[in-house]
Amino acid sequence: MPPKLKTRKPTGIVPWPLVLIEGEEGSGKSYSAAEFSASDLIGQTYWIDLAEGSADEYAAIEGADYEIVVHDGTYRDILEQIEA
C-alpha cells in the first residue's frame, strides 16, 4: 500500500530563519556559526553538539552568543530537543 499524502493549508506566517553551513571537515563551519551568533541581525541561537565537544570551545570567540542544547546523545532525545 503506498504511503498516504499528508497536506495542510499554508499559514501565511513568516518562518523562523535557518542557516545551513556546509563544507568539508576542518573548513571552519563551527567557527562561522559561532561568529554568526554574535551578529545583531541574528536572534536566539541554539547549538546542538553531536559528541564533538566544540560548543564550549567556540564560546571564546568575541561576541559569540548561543545556548548549548543539552541531550543524552540518543536519537530520541536529540529529536525531542529539536522539536522543543
Q: What pLDDT sits at residue 67?
A: 93
pTM higher than 0.75 for the full model?
A: no
pLDDT in tens, 1-19: 888 988 999 999 888 777 7
- The pLDDT mean for the chain works out to 89
Q: Is residue 14 part of a domain?
A: no
> Which secondary-structure segment (H or E) carries 64?
none
Residue 54, Cα to own-chain centre: how many angstroms? 14
CB 61 within 8 A of CB 71: no
Indicate the number of domains in the chain: 1
Q: What pLDDT sits at residue 41?
A: 83
Write the CB contacts of 81 (distance below 8 Å, at least 6 apart in sequence): 48, 69, 70, 71
Residue-number span of the structural domain to which 42 is assigned? 29-83
CA–CA dist 51, 44 (Å, integer): 22
pLDDT in tens, 53-75: 788 999 999 999 999 999 998 99
Q: Is residue 17 part of a domain?
A: no
Phi, psi angles (nearest 5°) of residue 28: 105, 15
